[in-house]
A and B are shown apart, each in its own frame.
Chain A
Amino acid sequence: MEIVIRLDTVEPPVGSVRLLAGPDLSYRGAEAAAVGFAGWLGLLRALYEVIGSRGDRPSGK
Chain B
Amino acid sequence: MTDPKLELLRQTAALARLELNDDEARALSPQFDAILAHFEVLASLDTEGVPPTLGATDLRDVKRPDEPRPSGLSEALLEGAPDRRERYFGVPKTLGGEE
Decide whether A and B are members of one complex.
Answer: no
The interface of chain B, by Cβ under 8 A from chain A, is none
